[in-house]
Amino acid sequence: MSDARNAPVPETPSPEELRRAMKAFKKRLKLARLDDESRLGKGPLSGGAKGGIVAILPPPQYPRAVWDALVEQGKLRRAGHGLYELTDG
């Protein structure tokens, strides 16, 4: 039997936690793009193709509630399959 009093209460993330999570997301996205663009065959003499990474899995050290809060604030957008992308605004 489950008791409603013992159920975990979803905690809203603090503004500081949201700021740190957003910073971690941007850093991970930047590294993913740099890694993709540094592959062989994408050099300046081979056509200079830009990387196409726009969405990533968010850093796992933050709970899903943090990412959902950032989506509600309009800072991130769900891209499907657990991926998130930055919004234009």
- Is 7 inside any structural domain? no
Here the tokens at position 17 are 């936690």
- Is 5 inside any structural domain? no
Domain that holds residue 68: 15-38+62-84
- Is 72 inside any structural domain? yes
- Is 3 inside any structural domain? no
3-state secondary structure the chain: CCCHHHCCCCCCCCHHHHHHHHHHHHHHHHHHHHHHHCCCCCCCCCCCCCCCCCEECCCCCCCHHHHHHHHHCCCEEEEECCEEEECCC
- Is 23 inside any structural domain? yes
pTM recorded for the entire structure: 0.78
- Is 9 inside any structural domain? no
pLDDT mean across residues, the chain:
85
- Is 69 inside any structural domain? yes
CA 67 to the chain's CA centroid: 7
Residue-wise pLDDT for 25-61, tens only, equals 999 999 999 988 887 665 556 555 566 899 999 999 9
Domain count, the chain: 1
Percentage of the chain with pLDDT > 70?
Answer: 74
Distance CA 50, CA 31 (A): 14
- Is 19 inside any structural domain? yes
- Residue type, position 1, single letter: M
The mean pLDDT value for 54-83 works out to: 96
